[in-house]
Amino acid sequence: MAANMYRVGDYVYFENSSSNPLLIRRIEELNKTANGNVEAKVVCFYRRRDISSTLIALADKHARELEEEMENPELNPVDLPEKQKHQLRHRELFLSRQLESLPATHIRGKCCVTLLNETEALKSYLDREDAFFYSLVYDPQQKTLLADKGEIRVGNKYQADITDFLKEGEEDGRDLAKLEERVWDPSSPLTEKQIDQFLVVARSVGTFARALDCSSSVRQPSLHMSAAAASRDITLFHAMDSLDKTRYDMTRAIAALVPQGGPVLCRDEMEEWSASEANLFEEALEKYGKDFTDIQQDFLPWKSLTSIIEYYYMWKTTDRYVQQKRLKAAEAESKLKQVYIPNYNKPNPNQLSVNNVKPGGVGGLVNGSGAAAGAAVGAGGLPGALGVISAPPGQTPGLGRACESCYTTSSYQWYSWGPPNMQCRLCASCWTYWKKYGGLKMPTRLEGERPGPNRNNMSPHSVPMRHGGSPKFAVKTKQAFYLQTTQVTRAARRVCQDIIRPRFLARHPYLPLNTAQIKQECALRLPDKPKKPLPLKPVERKPLESVVRYLEAHPCPPKQDPPRAQTVTTGSLTPIKSTPNILNNGSPTILGKRTYEQHNGMDGMKPKAPQWDIMAKRTAEPSRTTSAPMQQVHELD
C-alpha cells in the first residue's frame, strides 16, 4: 500500500513509450482535473542519452575535475572496472528547471535522486537499486550545462583555519585595527532616553527629506508612507553611526543629520526598487526559488547580486510576503497531498509471445524462439518462408539469438529491442535494466564498443540471413534532399563571373570560394545593371513519346568483344588457353568463372560459356561449313 502511494516531492518513473526507457521526474504538485483524473506537475530530469555529444563531453570534463579534487583514493572512480564505469554512466542525471504536467496513471514506481556528494563513493550508487545522482543543471532551451549552485560544501577545502590558543601571558601580535572596526560604544555617556530622543529626531529629518525629494514623493505620496519609510533600519543605522563619529555629542550629531546642503536622505533596497521590479522579483522567485544568480540573469540583469539578496531579506519582512505565504498555504490545503496508483499489469507491446507463431512449426518452442518467428510473421513474412530450424539433439530449440546485453540464451520472457531490421532482443532482467537506467548492462555492438553475440543463423560469410535465405546488410536509409538556389545567387553567378570563374572552379572543385566577397560585390553591381531581368536560354523539352520513338529507331550499337588470350591450335573445337587461371597462392581454380549462386550451390542453372553460344550460331548458318574447324577457332579468337 505504501509503495503505491505517491506524494509531493517523490522521485518517480514515468512511462511515455513502451520501447523507450522510463522518464525520471520529481512531483511538485498533484492536481485533480475537471473530468476527475489526476495530473502531476513534475520537474524534469534528463539522462546522458537525452543530451548532445558536445554537452556529454563537458559533463565528462567536469567529472574528471571532480576526480582530481578527491583526496580520498577510495572514493575515486578511476580504479573501477570498465563494466561498472559503463553502468555508472546510466546512474547520472541532469537536473532542469523545466516543468511539465503528466497523467498520474503513467507513474511506474519510485526512485531516489540525490545531489552528488563528494564524500560518498560512486560505487555506492551501483549497490543500491533505483539510485541516481546529479551534479549539473541542463537547460533544454539554451542547450547548456551549468554546475548546480546548491551543492553541499563538504571537505577540507571548505573548513576554516583555526589559530592556536594564546598561552598565558602571550600577546596577540595581530593589528586589531585591521581586523575589526568599532561602530558603537555601549559605555557612552548618553543615557537610553537621550539615545531614543535622538533617534526620533533622525526619523523626523528622514520624513522631511522624503517630502523634499521628488522621486520619493511619487513613491510615497502620503505622509504615513514617508514616515514608515523613514523609520526603517537604514535611517536608525545612520543616526547611531553619526553619534559614534561625533563622540556621542548630541549637538554635533544633530548638525550632522542636517548638513549645509539639506537633510540627509537614507534609502535601502526596499525603497529603491520600483513596483514593476518588485513584481518581476516575485515572479522570478516563484520560478527559480532562491537561485539568485538565475534571477539576475533572466529577470533583473540591471540589478547587482548584492542588491537582489538584500532586497530578498527585506521583502520577507513585509506584509506582502506574509500574504503570499497565506495564499500558498491555502492553495496547498486545496490540492492533493498524495495519490494511490495501482501496479501496472498490462503486457508490453515489445513482449515476444509464443502465441504469435503460426501452427505447424516446431512443437514445444520456448518463449524466445517462438516470439522471434512470430515477429517475422507480423512483419509481413510468410509462414512457409520463416525457415524455423529444429534444434540438434540435446539442445533446447530457439537458442540461436541470444540476449543483446548479457548473452544469455534462456529467459522466462523475451522483449524485442533496437531497430527492427537488427532483430535484437533482451531477456527479462536486461529489459528491466534498460527501462530503468536507459542502457544495457554491457556495451552493445550498436554503440560500437564490442562485437555482438554469436549467431547460429548466419550465412557462410557471417551476414545475417533473411527469412528467404539471402544475405541482407543492415544499411541505414538515407534521407533524400536537394539544394535550391535563391534568385540572388543565380544573379550573382552572371554578374560576378570574373570573380567566380566557373570554368576554373569546375576543374578545381576543392578550392575555397569567398562567398562574402561575392555577395558584397554583387550588391554593388546589381543597381548598375538594367532593371530588365537577364535573359535566360530557353530550354525546349520534347515529349516523352518522341524520345521513346527515337530510342526505338536508333537502338544501342552492339559492344565489341574484348580481345581474348592467345590460344593453342588443336584439332578440336574447344579453345585451350595457354595458361590456367591461378588463384589462391598458386592453386588452380575456376572460381573466377562462377557466379556467387553457383559457388554456394544456390538456385540457378549454370550458364553456358559464351564461346559455345557463338560456335552454335556459326555452325547453324547454312553458308558456313564444318570442314574447317581450325579456321573457325581462329575467327572466334
Position 75 confidence tier, pLDDT thresholds 50, 70, 90: low
C-alpha to C-alpha distance for 129 and 91, rounded to whole angstroms: 10
Give the cell for residue 78: 578511476
More confident residue, 601 or 234: 234
Residue 266 is predicted with a pLDDT of: 84
pLDDT in tens, 278-303: 899 999 998 888 888 889 998 999 99
Neighbours of 100 (CB within 10 A): 12
Task: List C-alpha distances in Å: 325 to 278, 289, 333.
Answer: 16, 14, 12
Position 13 confidence tier, pLDDT thresholds 50, 70, 90: very high
C-alpha to C-alpha distance for 159 and 174, rounded to whole angstroms: 22
Position 387 confidence tier, pLDDT thresholds 50, 70, 90: very low
Best-predicted range by mean pLDDT (40-49, 381-390, 407-416): 40-49
Position 626 confidence tier, pLDDT thresholds 50, 70, 90: very low
More confident residue, 20 or 166: 20
Neighbours of 422 (CB within 10 A): 15
Position 362 confidence tier, pLDDT thresholds 50, 70, 90: very low
Residue 187 CA neighbour count, 13 Å, CB half: 1
Position 575 confidence tier, pLDDT thresholds 50, 70, 90: very low
Q: What's the whole-number mean pLDDT along residues 552-557?
A: 84
pLDDT at 82 over 80: yes
State which amino acid sits at residue 4: N
Give the cell for residue 541: 523539352
C-alpha to C-alpha distance for 497 and 525, rounded to whole angstroms: 12
Position 564 confidence tier, pLDDT thresholds 50, 70, 90: low
- Separation of CA 288 from chain center: 23
Q: Which domains does the chain have, with CATH numbers?
A: 5-147 (2.30.30.490), 184-267 (4.10.1240.50), 273-339 (1.10.10.60), 348-354+401-446 (3.30.50), 482-528 (no CATH)
User: What region does 317 belong to: left with phi over 0, alpha with psi -120 to 50, or beta?
Assistant: alpha
Residue 590 is predicted with a pLDDT of: 41
C-alpha to C-alpha distance for 254 and 246, rounded to whole angstroms: 10
Q: What's the whole-number mean pLDDT along residues 505-519?
A: 84
pLDDT at 365 over 50: no
Q: Model-level pTM greater than 0.75?
A: no
Position 432 confidence tier, pLDDT thresholds 50, 70, 90: very high
C-alpha to C-alpha distance for 215 and 550, rounded to whole angstroms: 91
For residues 271, 274, 275, 276, the Cα torsion angle rounded to the nearest 10 degrees is -150
Q: What's the whole-number mean pLDDT along residues 66-77?
A: 64
Residue 23 is predicted with a pLDDT of: 95
Q: What's the whole-number mean pLDDT along residues 435-449?
A: 72
Position 27 confidence tier, pLDDT thresholds 50, 70, 90: very high
C-alpha to C-alpha distance for 413 and 629, rounded to whole angstroms: 73
pLDDT in tens, 188-238: 888 999 999 999 999 888 888 888 877 665 566 677 777 777 778 888 888
pLDDT at 86 over 70: yes
C-alpha to C-alpha distance for 629 and 33, rounded to whole angstroms: 98
Residue 611 is predicted with a pLDDT of: 53
User: What region does 237 belong to: left with phi over 0, alpha with psi -120 to 50, or beta?
Assistant: alpha
User: pLDDT > 70: what percent of the chain?
Assistant: 68
pLDDT in tens, 143-188: 888 876 655 566 676 777 787 888 888 888 877 777 778 888 888 8
pLDDT at 389 over 70: no
pLDDT in tens, 252-266: 998 988 888 888 888
pLDDT at 374 over 80: no
